[in-house]
Structure 1
């Protein structure tokens, strides 16, 4: 009877150890999957930002704006007009990238060559206020 109880205790300890090992493996796998997903999402975000930054200032009908009238393109980004006045009072000033580019071709309707709301974008990073997040927001085209 004593041998049976000792064997049951030994078996119980073995099952407990196996369960603890299984739980730790599951936790490590979950952490690895979360890190992998975070890396993939961060790579996607930086790729999207890089593409948008490369397109910044693109205007399909730039010749009509600059060569004919001598005026600047409506997609030109002036930091004193578009960025500093809107964000200078913030403690997080200069932690953003604001850009405009023409997503439509020159024959698009309505009003080709004029920025729409979805063509003016701000990417921002906030370390303390939002817990270290990168966010994207659209600005009004007239802003």
Structure 2
């Protein structure tokens, strides 16, 4: 018996041209997906750097503001100590709030001040009890701007210093990560007349302060910081904040 032959018809596959077109289309899609993920990764990395730099600036501002508000604080009671407010040792020349700069540095990039940390009524300069403080911008050996804070100097000189390596100053920022191109301070003062007949409460005071008149000096410090990443100088950020000092100065017009 003869077995009939089955007919499958023509069996067509894809041609070489079609295969190449399909591979090209797949490569384009894959390239787009890779580019999308690459862009997302770069965007996330950029956002991370910006957030970190912003947090660092905010932390510095908060620290400086908190310390500066204490400038001139005198932990004594004038009525019982025999002193008067005018004798506040934290207001005298050499210990009062001063704006300057490290030797050879940018003008107004350093601020010095003092306050009565242990509230004993005297200005201590001894080791372990130094009540003289400050912030400054210094440049390290690699040319990186570093924000520093003055620490206990064991009775050393109270100044903005001469070089990055001064032993009485410590880093607040890491020169491996951030380069500070600007740290500046400016001081605004306003005298308010305190005579019984005319007591001012707002600045500027329109009253004439005559010789012998007592007055109150309100002070405000403006802090400006600009920093950039060491790894990518295009990521830069600036911030400015104003700080009213809590301890207003009292005086008598000469």
TM over 0.5: yes
The answer (yes or no) to whether the contact 2:139–2:146 under 8 Å persists in 1 is yes
What TM-score does the superposition give when structure 2 sets the normalisation length? 0.43
Report the structure number with the largest CA radius of gyration.
Answer: 2
Tell me: CA distance 1:141–1:82, structure 2 relative to 1, closer, same or farther (3 Å): farther
Partner of 1:109: none
Shift of 1:61: 2.5
Partner of 1:113: 122
Which is richer in strand? 2
Partner of 2:58: 43
Give, in whole Å, the separation in 1 of the partners of 2:20 and 2:40: 30
Cα RMSD, aligned residues only:
3.6
- Aligned positions of 1:1-143 closer than 5 A: 1-2=15-16, 3-61=18-76, 63=78, 64=81, 66-67=83-84, 72-73=88-89, 75-76=90-91, 78-79=93-94, 90-92=103-105, 94-106=108-120, 113-115=122-124, 116-117=129-130, 119-126=131-138, 130-140=143-153, 142=155, 143=157
What TM-score does the superposition give when structure 1 sets the normalisation length? 0.69
Shift of 1:138: 1.6
Tell me: CA distance 1:97–1:141, structure 2 relative to 1, closer, same or farther (3 Å): farther
Give, in whole Å, the separation in 1 of the partners of 2:44 and 2:123: 50
Count of aligned pairs between the two proteins: 133
Specify every segment of 5 or more residues in structure 1 that has no aligned partner in the other structure, as ranges. Answer: 107-111
Give, in whole Å, the separation in 2 of the partners of 1:55 and 1:45: 16
Specify every segment of 5 or more residues in structure 2 that has no aligned partner in the other structure, as ranges. Answer: 1-14, 158-254
Which is richer in helix? 1
